[in-house]
Amino acid sequence: QKEVEQDPGPLSVPEGAIVSLNCTYSNSAFQYFMWYRQYSRKGPELLMYTYSSGNKEDGRFTAQVDKSSKYISLFIRDSQPSDSATYLCAMSANEGKLIFGQGTELSVKP
């Protein structure tokens, strides 16, 4: 079993929908939780960063971390076609080596 599990999708939604992406993990030492967006043939770019449990909001994006359940989520409101990409969760026990999920491929249809 992998340390970080993420449903690979693909996920297809209509423009304007609310998107929910999530990951589960097994290592209770993880304290830093991130979501990256990766467009085709590009490197991952950081979307959201959360330390320990709680919620964080940035524009249309909300990240949630529930350490008691070892579960993290990313919500995208009012999704746009430009949000179509692969979304990767990543986590770390310290501010160094990241463990990534498999990535969820999202397509937002106009």
Partner 1 sequence: GAGVSQSPRYKVAKRGQDVALRCDPISGHVSLFWYQQALGQGPEFLTYFQNEAQLDKSGLPSDRFFAERPEGSVSTLKIQRTQQEDSAVYLCASSGSGEQLHFGNGTRLTVT
Distance CA 40, CA 30 (A): 28
Least distance CB 38 / partner 1 (angstroms): 9
Least distance CB 78 / partner 1 (angstroms): 25
Rank residues 17 and 22 by Cβ distance to partner 1 and give the closer one. 22
Instruction: Look at residues 95, 104, 90, 108 and name the one whose alpha carbon lies nearest to residue 46.
Output: 90
- Choosing from 16, 26, 46, 71, the residue that interacts with partner 1 (CB under 8 A) is 46
DSSP per-residue letters across 11-40: EEEETT--EEEEEEE--TT--EEEEEEE-T
Least distance CB 105 / partner 1 (angstroms): 9
Rank residues 9 and 75 by Cβ distance to partner 1 and give the closer one. 9
**Residue type present at position 94:** N
Distance CA 53, CA 40 (A): 31
- Choosing from 22, 49, 62, 66, the residue that interacts with partner 1 (CB under 8 A) is 49
Please say whether the beta carbons of 49 and 34 come within 8 A: yes
Rank residues 52 and 78 by Cβ distance to partner 1 and give the closer one. 52
Residues binding partner 1 (CB under 8 A): 4, 6, 8, 34, 41-46, 49, 88, 90, 95-103
